[in-house]
């Protein structure tokens, strides 16, 4: 791992040293920046996101972390003694830092799985409907006759676009939370 303080980070964030710093950070499993200013935190996250083309996650618990949380792809705010500013600016809120593991490994895995399956569901739903329209045009001699009334089309899209995602989003859990916590490598498989 690499530990860097705020004064050193100020020098590293200049254009001449950014590439060297990024090469060094790519070789580390973790980089910890201590005593960094809010601007340094946000610049560092932006640098990693833009130069390394990496997805970034920022975790903070106070007002000094708000800019970093807003710059990151995903922001997590921890409600605590420093107030609720980080929570208000974040995408997700947790009460303690130890809940971050469950947020990422369990809910992150379930979210990836649900999104993947829903994209496939919408694709096949639309293929099915367009396929019906396509073959109907052969039946009616390409006259442009409508196969269905408009209210049936609206009902079809309402039922098959809203109800299944709600049911699927609430009920689908492909792997139990206990197994996901025991086997963190399942998170990478869901990506």
Contact 78, 87 (CB under 8 A): yes
Tokens 């492909």 locate to 174
Q: What does the alpha-carbon distance between residue 110 and residue 177 come to, in Å, rounded to a whole number?
A: 9
Instruction: Summarize pLDDT for 158-185 with one digit per residue, the tens.
Output: 887 788 888 887 788 888 889 888 888 8
Alpha helix ranges (H) inside 32-107: 38-51, 66-71, 85-89, 100-102
What percent of the chain clears pLDDT 90, i.e. is strictly above it?
Answer: 12
**Residue 115 pLDDT > 70:** yes
Q: 127 or 142: which carries more pLDDT confidence?
A: 127
**Residue 83 pLDDT > 80:** no
Question: What's the CATH architecture for 2-95?
Answer: 3-Layer(aba) Sandwich (3.40)
Residue 88 has a pLDDT of 92
Residue 68 has a pLDDT of 92
Confidence of residue 191 (pLDDT cuts 50, 70, 90): low
Q: What are the residues facing 57 on neighbouring strands?
A: 74
Specify the pTM: 0.73
The CA R_g of the chain, rounded to the nearest whole Å, is 24
Q: What does the alpha-carbon distance between residue 26 and residue 85 come to, in Å, rounded to a whole number?
A: 31
Domain boundaries, the chain: 2-95, 100-189
């Amino acid at each position: 791992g690499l530990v860097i303080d705020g004064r050193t980070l100020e020098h590293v964030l200049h254009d001449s040293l950014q590439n060297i710093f990024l090469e060094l950070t790519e070789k580390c499993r973790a980089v910890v920046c201590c005593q960094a200013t809010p601007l340094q935190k946000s610049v560092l996250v932006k640098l990693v996101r833009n130069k390394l083309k990496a997805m970034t996650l920022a975790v903070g618990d106070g007002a000094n972390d708000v800019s970093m949380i807003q710059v990151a792809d995903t922001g997590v705010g921890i409600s605590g003694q420093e107030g609720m500013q980080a929570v208000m600016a974040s995408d997700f809120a947790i009460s303690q830092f130890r809940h971050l593991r469950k947020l990422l490994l369990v809910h992150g895995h379930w979210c990836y799985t649900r999104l993947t399956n829903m994209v496939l569901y919408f694709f096949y739903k639309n293929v099915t409907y367009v396929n019906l329209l396509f073959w109907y045009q052969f039946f009616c001699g390409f006259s442009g006759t409508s196969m269905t009334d408009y209210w049936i089309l609206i009902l079809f899209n309402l039922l098959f676009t809203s109800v299944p995602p709600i049911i699927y989003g609430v009920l689908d859990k492909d792997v139990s939370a206990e197994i996901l916590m025991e086997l963190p490598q399942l998170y990478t498989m869901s990506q």
